[in-house]
A and B are shown apart, each in its own frame.
Chain A
Amino acid sequence: MRCDFADSLLHGYFDSELSAPSAAEFEHHLQHCVHCAVELVDLDLLSGQLQVAQLYEAAPASLRKKIRINLRPVAPTPAPSSLLSWRWVAAAALLLVAFVVWRVIPAFHGEEDYQARFATGIVDAHLRSLLPGQITNVNSNDPQTVRAWFEGKVKFAFLVRDFADYGFSLRGGRVDVVQGRTVATLVYASGEHLVNVFIWPTRQQDADPLAGSRQGYQWIDWRKGKIEFCAVSDAPTSDLQQLQRLFTN
């Protein structure tokens, strides 16, 4: 005896593929149909047998290997040509080394050279300024006076401020020539330390402060609004960083 429901819903019910209303309908039917109840058990037995038998067959390692080889960008070739390709790799490596020696290393050197030259120039200018009578050309703690003095001497504009309230009192200003360029210098006193702030125009983008030291002097350099600033002193770097923040605020 067969049952109409057996073919239409039984397997879907067994596989949990029926919609909720269909499943409910079938469950209702199941209460009265012995045939479907038995068939459901048979299905479960069959499915269980298949699982227990472990009929699933995983791919052999050889197939996995073949497919992986096929997926490689360059398929492995017989020994002679692979030797040839190694020769090409070696040649390419040599070319790369040559390029690094020719271009990259000098570029790094260039960067280091620039830093070294820059620091030397700035620290030298700072040292010169410490010679008797050299520290300021305009001797004033009044920003207006100092700013007025710079007019006509340098061709770029910058703010002159006194930071006495923060521990950096304005002493005055002068004009320096550092590595061939005209530089405006503001002089501050911080306790017993003198701080030179070198100021000159730049075409570079704004840059965060970069600190360094040379011959026992600390310097900190930053760029803002097409103007480059470099503060140099024998004061600790943390003091210079504080002054830098006062300048940029």
Chain B
Amino acid sequence: MSDVLDFIPYARFLGVAVDRANGALECVLPFRQEIVGNVMLPAIHGGVIGAFLELTAILRLIDESGTDKVPKPINFAIDYLRSAGPATTRARADIFKLGRRLAVVHVVAWQDDPSRPVASGNGKFLL
């Protein structure tokens, strides 16, 4: 899976890593100053959180389907639930449908406490 991450320039750009320590595939977004969107709070840029959710969905799909083709997003909807502070963010994706052509993936991201998610996402992808 780290091969896939190396393969996607934007994943390297965000510094995203993959962790399987808790049994399921989790993506990790380390905090750094360059991803801040609001310096007063401070909070991670909403776009970065959205991109991280989408990346997690794609990595989970690649992991599940064993393909080396990057799934094409049709659309992606993000709910922002809490402000994401200056801390490590983690995300986990659930595949709700994996058809021949279409996949539907739900993603949840959190910081300290998985029961207090900072954002959730719902994406449709062409395989």
Q: Tell me whether A and B are bound partners.
A: no
Q: Please report B residues at the A interface, Cβ cutoff 8 Å.
A: none
